Amino acid sequence: MILMQETPITRGLVVRFLTVSIFIILSIAGIIFSGYMFIEANSTYTFALACAFLALSLFAGFFNTYASISYFRSYYYDRYIERITAHLKPLKRMPSVAVAMAVFNEDAKLVEKNMLRLKQLDYRKDRLRFYLLDDSSNKETVKELSGFCSKNGIEFLHRDRRDGYKAGALNNMMKSCKEEFIAVIDADEYLVNDRFLKDLLPYFDDKKLAYIQTEKRASRGSFFSDAVDLFDAFFFKFIQPHRALNNTAIFAGSCGVIRRSSLEEIGGFPEYVIEDTFFSLESDLHNFKSLYVPKVYALGKPMNNYSSLVKQQWRYNYGDTQFIKYFMRRSAESRKMSPWSAIDYYGHGFGLNYLSIVLIMFTVLSVFVSFSTIPFAHMTIKQVFNATYISRYIEIFGGAAFVLSIIAPVILTKVYFGSVRKGFMIFVLNFALAVSRAKAAWAAILGKDPIWRPVRVSPGSKHSLIYAMANTKMEMALAGSLLSLGFISLITSNVAGWIWLSTYGVLYLFATVLLYKYG
């Protein structure tokens, strides 16, 4: 773990310190509330609820604390990378580079535009070789891309079977390419800075450096796509810098450069749906270094529809669940890494599961708590506004701590990106995506399909209410159950339970609303 250097107190540092303090206090409040539940427990049922709430509060507390530390330490990363950059030496020679783009049934015109832009890289042309790795099953797409590559001096490698997904395509390329470095760019990414290679390759003067990852962002689009872009930006703004300080920067699949010899020593890309995370771990276990450069060199296509986001998050959570199993299998080797590195990998693997499965578990637990004998669950409106019951305000605060901690994106989005609306959208997305993420984790455990496939109800129905309802049946069932139980709480004068359960019901219902609105 890199020690923090002494630095003048700035407004940014104060903001981070205050934000971290708030969310650590909220995490502690959840644990304190668990203690209150133990005190009030008067049966096996309420004692079991207290144990479950404590377990979830501790799990949430770990992730909130980890995220807070990541957020705080990321403040120091700019100076860290500046010190490294200041000692870079100009390239004595131009190493050979393979520029690879993997595609699978992508829009051929988009691929061609982005590949032609890559050919304008500011680098010696005789030291570059371009590869289009095509796993498309659409014959027309294959034919068009093959002809395009033939005309433009691009190596076209097609596979009829998509074994190993993107990792399989990259490993297949390794059989024929001999270049010293591999630059990976996604099909939807458009180069905006042609100094990509000239800027990054000097860092590889460090012979132990296996790869460099740069910041990934999307082009501006609709309100929804811009909110999704910020949804991902938190990882690159706060988590990646923290991880890079621990030498655990994640290779994010594209907008990065890899040393070929390091990749060969690792044994190629592990063939999983999120090959980048597995590759990053293997690089670390082989004692290589990694680096994150917080600079944007290419912009991805805006994600304008909700279906695409669900598909992406399904793949991420499926892969992260696989990764946890993989990491545990490699426990003997992983014990050699520092405790901070191990925490980084556990945090990454459990991250989306924390935002989905634990959130759903907490929701279910809230139902049982609301209908228990715990005193705060039976407060009436008169009692809520009666000073005599002021002590119970603390109890309610403790019970809401877990939920309040998830509102962090709202605060951070306002502070760093100047938008409360987008921050609220990010907050809502965590609930809207919770069920699909949990289903992806379960699919990974059972070894089922890693791809989310929406229910097709009728042609041209992607933006219809029927399509939205057909693809969010579980979310609607959960929301309906919570709203019904909330109503029962209300008619039995359980106001706290009504507010709690009804709020959850509305939040989960956003899955249907967003799919209907954005398709």
Q: What is the pLDDT of residue 6?
A: 43
- What tens digit of pLDDT does each residue of 236-286 get? 988 999 999 998 999 999 999 999 999 999 999 999 999 989 999 999 999
**Residues composing the chain:** 519
Tokens 């540092």 belong to residue: 13
* pLDDT at residue 30 greater than cutoff 80: no
Find the helix packing angle between 434-446 and 495-518, rounded to 10°. 80
Q: What is the pLDDT of residue 2?
A: 42
Task: Output the CATH code of domain 91-304.
Answer: 3.90.550.10
The radius of gyration of the chain's CA atoms, rounded to the nearest angstrom, is 25
CA distances from 233 to 284, 366, 417, 453 (A): 24, 31, 10, 26
What residues does each domain of the chain span?
11-75+352-518, 91-304
Residues 6 or more apart from 171 whose CB is under 8 A from it? 164, 268, 269, 271
What's the rounded mean pLDDT across residues 223-228?
Answer: 93
Q: Tell me the pLDDT of the chain averaged across its residues.
A: 85
Please choose, from the candidates 450, 438, 441, 500, the residue with its C-alpha nearest in 3D space to the C-alpha of residue 475.
438
Q: What is the pLDDT of residue 154?
A: 96
What band does 424 get if pLDDT is binned at 50, 70 and 90?
A: confident
What band does 426 get if pLDDT is binned at 50, 70 and 90?
A: confident
What band does 124 get if pLDDT is binned at 50, 70 and 90?
A: very high
What's the rounded mean pLDDT across residues 132-145?
Answer: 94
Q: What is the pLDDT of residue 266?
A: 94
What band does 399 get if pLDDT is binned at 50, 70 and 90?
A: very low
Q: Are 346 and 301 in contact (CB under 8 A)?
A: no
Alpha carbon of residue 212 to chain centroid: 19
**Structure-token pair, residue 472:** 């969010």
Which amino acid is present at 340? Answer: W
SS3 478: helix
What band does 19 get if pLDDT is binned at 50, 70 and 90?
A: confident
Residue 350 to residue 453: CA distance in whole angstroms: 23
467 or 179, greater pLDDT:
179
- What tens digit of pLDDT does each residue of 297-349 get? 999 999 999 999 999 999 999 999 999 989 988 777 766 777 888 888 888 88
Among 53-57, 64-68, 106-110, 396-400, which is the least confidently predicted range? 396-400
DSSP 357: I
Pairing of strands 209-218, 155-158: unpaired
DSSP 203-245: GGGSTTEEEEEEEEEE----HHHHHHHHHHHHIIIIIHHHHHH
Residue 211 to residue 209: CA distance in whole angstroms: 6
